[in-house]
Amino acid sequence: MTADIPAPSPESNPSTNDDAAAAKLCGMTHLPTGRVCVQPARHTGSCDFQLPSG
């Protein structure tokens, strides 16, 4: 069976964590591991991916 996965909109961030974004964090999600960047929103440098607590 094939999954019908809709294409992400180019106007949105398809891999950003909503909770992190609400907390003014970067929230970029590393899809292969499910880790979320805990750096501040619009931070400079590389993302710091951490496993979300909870």
27 class by beta-carbon count within 10 Å (0-12 exposed, 13-18 middle, 19+ buried): buried
CB atoms within 10 A of CB 52: 14
Q: Nearer Cβ to Zn ion, position 17 or 28?
A: 28
CB of 54 to Zn ion, least distance (A): 19
Answer for which of 17, 20, 28, 36 binds Zn ion (CB under 5 A) is 28
CB of 15 to Zn ion, least distance (A): 11
Regarding 47 and contact with Zn ion (CB under 5 A), the answer is: yes
